[in-house]
Structure 1
Amino acid sequence: MSTSATKVSGAGTGTTAVASRKRRLLQDVPSWLLIVPSLLFFIVFHWQPLVTGFLLSFFETKGYNAVRFNGLQNYIDVMSNSVFQQTLVNTFLYVIWSLAIGFLVPIVVAVMINEMMHGQSFFKFAVYFPGMVPGVAGALLWMFMFDPGPGGLLNMMLGKLGLPMSQWLQNSDLTIPLIILTMTWRSFGGTVILYLASLQGVNNELYEAAALDGAGIWKRIRHITIPQISHIIGILLILQMIGVFQVLYEPLTMTEGGPNNASMSLMLTSYHYAFRYFEAGRSLAVGVITFIILAVMTAIYFRINKKSNTD
């Protein structure tokens, strides 16, 4: 008798569990309906082109159509090209100059705005406004300023001061720093806003305690501000390196990679292969090489960061 009751009880428990799972699934249906369109969009317009491009980089192409499989030949042809080798050096120079010119600027500006008693809203808008300008439009604006002729805005200012005119973007030694200056002007505002949000989350009691101990503003910034926002600094460092590694609009619009390939970037090389020479396979090979370099750099950074945090 007890055995039968146990079986009935077990069956009832199993039925209840199944019914409960069905109710949970039904409750999740609206959530899935909201997620599915975004998921399909992501798969169709992001992952599908990525996978297709990766596979196509191993094929000989005629225009944008795969003709036959040729293994690593596209990669060999690309990497043996002297222009690509110079482009690789240029891309690392872009990263180095972006860290020298543009990495500390958002942090300094964010700290200055955060310390203001009045006018914070105005300065937040002022630093973010250049980021609202489209990339190509911003590059054209700066190109007119850097015009090497007597009609260029900066050369006109130099002439008024009695100074000799400069070739600006036509000077191969100045091309990359000037392009980085353009990129910094257009993009540092959004980074400033992120730093401001992080700074406003720092506990004010830490500053008050440091002030009572006689710490000046520089010591407070060094020992409180920077450590408290170090996590966001690390993340934005990686994002900046990734963004600069993929620079395209500025050199395309302002110099077309010149003079003498001095401002050529990896993405501009990929663009030229695809839309100037119509060699899709080699263009995609450059894209894959760029992805591998960025993945390795990111992995190295996170490994070093994890080790330093553990120590």
Structure 2
Amino acid sequence: MKDKIKWKKRDTIGWLVMVPTLILFAFFVWEPLIENIRLSLHSAVGYEIKEFVGFENYIKVLNNPTFIKAFKNTFSYTLWSLAIGFIVPIILGILISETVHLKGFFRTGIYFPNIVPGLATVWIWSYFFIPGKTGVLNIMLSKIGIDAQAWLTNPKWTIPLIILTMTWKGAGATALIYMANISGISPDLYEAATVDGAGIWKRIRHITIPSIAGIGKTMMILQIISVFQIMYEPMVMTNGGPNGASVSLMMLMYQYAFRDFNFPAAAALSVMICIILVILSGLYMKLTKSSEE
């Protein structure tokens, strides 16, 4: 009986501690989410909801020719981020962990870009990739006899270069997470591998990579969710160009809301993005769970 009373007290105290957080979560997350879904099903003048129109806003968004471009581009951003932005932090984390001297210096160096504000990073790289003879990169290439390149004005290079900019900005912080995970690996495993004659590459392949696979899966899904919501990078660097080659779904949503002042359409597109992310996350979790089993 005493144990039951103690459990009730502990349970009550736990809920009392959680109540403020639950209230804030409901007010800042669930209420705006529900209101956004409600707005997407109505017509509106500005923010003022008028009449129920069902899925009319969703149909208009789907019929917009720019939507198909933005949809394809967003998946292209995601795939390029997995090819570049996901691999680079792993390589950096492993190499620095294997470094014996100046490890602190390298950690500081790779984290430094994270200190720079995101918008400033985008502006810096925009000037770096200016086409023609005035671009920083083209000036450097001209010194070794290479002609000026189009860079961001070339539709084939626009998305990879934007992803390269994002990778430069965020790879350091992610690499530190991998390094922290690697530092938790038992030294006995490396010692045993060294005694057995395993070189650095075999140690990385058979010990380091399997040990960071779990955190790698988490970082992958977080990266997919983050990159799928890319907006200000293409907006600042290319304004969605050339000819819509870099426009993303979030950028299209921004245009609906703050260029066309069509808030119901923006709300409908945001709900669609949320559904896509939930589906992708669910598929990823199911696939990784099946592979683990």
Query: What interval of TM-score do these two structures reach, taking the shorter chain for normalisation?
Result: over 0.9
Residue from 85, 89, 92 that aligns with 2:68: 85
In structure 1, C-alpha distance between the alignment counterparts of 2:22 and 2:215, rounded to whole Å? 28
User: Which position in structure 2 is the counterpart of 1:254?
Assistant: 237
Residue from 121, 146, 151 that aligns with 1:163: 146
User: Which position in structure 2 is the counterpart of 1:141?
Assistant: 124
- RMSD after superposition: 1.9
Residue from 248, 254, 263 that aligns with 1:271: 254
In structure 2, C-alpha distance between the alignment counterparts of 1:174 and 1:45, rounded to whole Å? 39
User: Which position in structure 2 is the counterpart of 1:235?
Assistant: 218
User: Which position in structure 2 is the counterpart of 1:9?
Assistant: none
Per-residue deviation, 1:162: 2.4
TM norm structure 2 = 0.94
In structure 2, C-alpha distance between the alignment counterparts of 1:89 and 1:25, rounded to whole Å? 49
**SS class of match (1:164):** coil
Whether contact under 8 Å (1:248, 1:265) holds in the other structure is: yes
**SS class of match (1:177):** helix
Whether contact under 8 Å (1:111, 1:196) holds in the other structure is: yes
Per-residue deviation, 1:25: 7.0
In structure 2, C-alpha distance between the alignment counterparts of 1:154 and 1:23, rounded to whole Å? 66
1:114 equivalent to 2:97? Answer yes
In structure 2, do the counterparts of structure 1 residues 59 and 23 end up closer, same or farther at CA, with 3 Å as the change threshold? Answer: closer
**SS class of match (1:68):** strand
User: Which position in structure 2 is the counterpart of 1:223?
Assistant: 206
In structure 1, C-alpha distance between the alignment counterparts of 2:116 and 2:51, rounded to whole Å? 43
Residue from 79, 86, 92 that aligns with 1:103: 86
In structure 2, C-alpha distance between the alignment counterparts of 1:286 and 1:302, rounded to whole Å? 24
Listed as ranges, the matches of 1:140-219 within 5 Å are: 140-219=123-202
How many residues matched?
293
Q: Which runs of 5+ in 2 are unaligned?
A: none
Listed as ranges, the matches of 1:22-41 within 5 Å are: 24=10, 28=13, 32=16, 35-41=18-24
Amino acid at match of 2:146: L
Per-residue deviation, 1:160: 2.2
In structure 1, C-alpha distance between the alignment counterparts of 2:142 and 2:10, rounded to whole Å? 75
Per-residue deviation, 1:24: 4.6
Per-residue deviation, 1:118: 2.1
In structure 2, C-alpha distance between the alignment counterparts of 1:65 and 1:160, rounded to whole Å? 58
In structure 2, do the counterparts of structure 1 residues 23 and 239 end up closer, same or farther at CA, with 3 Å as the change threshold? Answer: closer
In structure 2, C-alpha distance between the alignment counterparts of 1:81 and 1:182, rounded to whole Å? 29
Percent identity of paired positions between Structure 1 and Structure 2: 46
In structure 2, do the counterparts of structure 1 residues 165 and 55 end up closer, same or farther at CA, with 3 Å as the change threshold? Answer: same
**SS class of match (1:165):** coil
Structure whose CA Rg is larger: 1
Per-residue deviation, 1:272: 0.5
In structure 2, C-alpha distance between the alignment counterparts of 1:299 and 1:66, rounded to whole Å? 33
Residue from 23, 29, 38 that aligns with 1:55: 38
Amino acid at match of 2:188: E
User: Which position in structure 2 is the counterpart of 1:71?
Assistant: 54
1:304 equivalent to 2:290? Answer no
Residue from 237, 258, 269 that aligns with 1:286: 269
In structure 2, C-alpha distance between the alignment counterparts of 1:81 and 1:169, rounded to whole Å? 25
**SS class of match (1:186):** helix
- What's the CA shift string for 1:142-182, capped at 9, x where partnerless? 11111114222112112222221112111111100000000
In structure 1, C-alpha distance between the alignment counterparts of 2:277 and 2:97, rounded to whole Å? 33
In structure 2, do the counterparts of structure 1 residues 40 and 134 end up closer, same or farther at CA, with 3 Å as the change threshold? Answer: farther
In structure 2, C-alpha distance between the alignment counterparts of 1:108 and 1:87, rounded to whole Å? 31
TM norm structure 1 = 0.89
